[in-house]
Structure 1
């Protein structure tokens, strides 16, 4: 037998388990790990015992839903908070309105109001920086007035008024601008725009009006010239812008354009000359005409007409 080196025999390890490692046992699993087959262990099952499954349709019994706060209805439907009144008028937002109220920019019926939450009636006069405002949308109605209707909002004797003719025109609180005699006919404007109404009735604004006048007899040339030159009535000189006979009609009918004085000026002129007016028809008012507007009918002004009125 051959001698082995160093006097010892060496046995070489062979196979995969070389190096002294123990073979892997698939039956054993590491401690604390879940089985690889995805099934719950008996310990996991015990942890869920006695618990009810979660139902998404059922609210948590410990959760109490808060009831939504209910708004208190106003005891008076005609009352409105001052800041909302100003906001509805298109001046500014409610928050900005509160600021203007606090610094005294708003008056109600002539008195400065600085109280937050103050309520006003829709019939109150509210001014912002001295200008009357309205919480309703600005409305402008033109009527071709017939005979027999009073130009007023209400008559104590129960007689017919022009408000009866425009009752279905709008829900806004409109009023007639200026006046016309009960038996007079023609153009009459209604609006809830107080600022424009005052402007159109101010004699200093020289708002143009044209009347078709029919007299009880022919107008003489002498009286025609007197009217054209101006009349002294009770110490005041009253004149007209223009006067002319109606083309194709008798000398009883004339057209008169005025832009000063009250609506009673035309009547005062002819009464001073001992004429009786048989028919008085206002055919033009502040640039508005009766075109396509039959007697007793009304229409809303268009946007351009409103702009024209405000630019007079």
Structure 2
């Protein structure tokens, strides 16, 4: 097994994150520093990170309905973090959020200690779309929606959603559905701002075909890797 994959299986982080840890000289195999992510581990090798032995841990997968006010991180000096919402049974697992929702956003969030799974979910080649509901501070016109759909050039970069739709919900012409294919930080808020709107509420409603329906705000649900993939690929109300 390659060293970077082994580190990811141990919950150290994604494969890319593991590569940085290796490059920084923090990883030893049988007492010797190894700097090659593709290094093939001999059977029974002792791997350490910062001097501490690591071994593959049981992979856990948790779906959380994130409330506003929590940061998508495992630690923060100033704000509460999403891992604080998890039951005590997950305390011994180094779970981390897959992707991000900003502090004031809500909705579906996956947490896991499986770095390889996290990388698969986030990689654009997998084609996993994210759907959001956004409440704007004023009414949006169909002309604005067309501009949004066509893509917006912001700071030299074009941001283009897969789809934007005005919802038939009160307050009228202020709720929109936005579907994204990539995970640019604060993308919905940035695009809305470029059109002259502020987002007052933002909820991630879908990851792939998995849709938020029953999970209360702040609650979580443990799933297996297979259950989660089936929900994302084939659809499920959670």
| Pairs aligned (count) | 207
Aligned to 1:166: 86
- Residues 137 and 197 in structure 2, CA contact (< 8 A), matched pair in contact too: yes
Residue ranges of structure 1 left out of the alignment (5+ in a row): 1-81, 90-100, 127-133
- Residues 203 and 262 in structure 1, CA contact (< 8 A), matched pair in contact too: no
2:107 counterpart SS class = strand
1:144 counterpart SS class = strand
Aligned to 1:294: 216
Displaced runs of 4 or more, over 4 A: 107-117, 121-126, 309-312
Aligned to 1:76: none
Mapped to 2, the partners of 1:233 and 1:185 lie a distance apart of 24
Question: Deviation at 1:233?
Answer: 2.1
* CA offsets 1:122-159 (integer angstroms, 9 cap, x no match): 99797xxxxxxx611111000000111111100123x2
Question: Deviation at 1:307?
Answer: 3.8
Written as runs of structure 1 = structure 2, the 5 A alignment for 1:232-311 is 232-249=153-170, 250-302=172-224, 304-308=226-230
Mapped to 2, the partners of 1:187 and 1:123 lie a distance apart of 36
Going from structure 1 to structure 2, the CA distance change for 1:311 and 1:244 (only over 3 Å counts) comes to closer
Aligned to 1:118: 46
Written as runs of structure 1 = structure 2, the 5 A alignment for 1:64-143 is 110=37, 112=39, 118=46, 120=48, 135-143=56-64
Mapped to 2, the partners of 1:173 and 1:123 lie a distance apart of 18
- Residues 108 and 125 in structure 1, CA contact (< 8 A), matched pair in contact too: no
**Coordinate RMSD, CA, aligned:** 3.6
- Given candidates 73, 76, 87, the residue that maps to 1:155 is 76
Mapped to 2, the partners of 1:224 and 1:150 lie a distance apart of 30
2:190 counterpart SS class = helix
Q: Does 1:202 align with 2:107?
A: no
Aligned to 2:25: none
TM-score (structure 1 length as normaliser): 0.57
- Residues 244 and 254 in structure 1, CA contact (< 8 A), matched pair in contact too: yes
- Higher RCO (Cα < 8 Å, 6 or more apart): 2
- Residues 139 and 192 in structure 1, CA contact (< 8 A), matched pair in contact too: yes
Q: Does 1:229 align with 2:157?
A: no
Question: Deviation at 1:274?
Answer: 1.7
- Given candidates 180, 193, 208, the residue that maps to 2:101 is 180
Higher strand share: 2
Residue ranges of structure 2 left out of the alignment (5+ in a row): 11-28
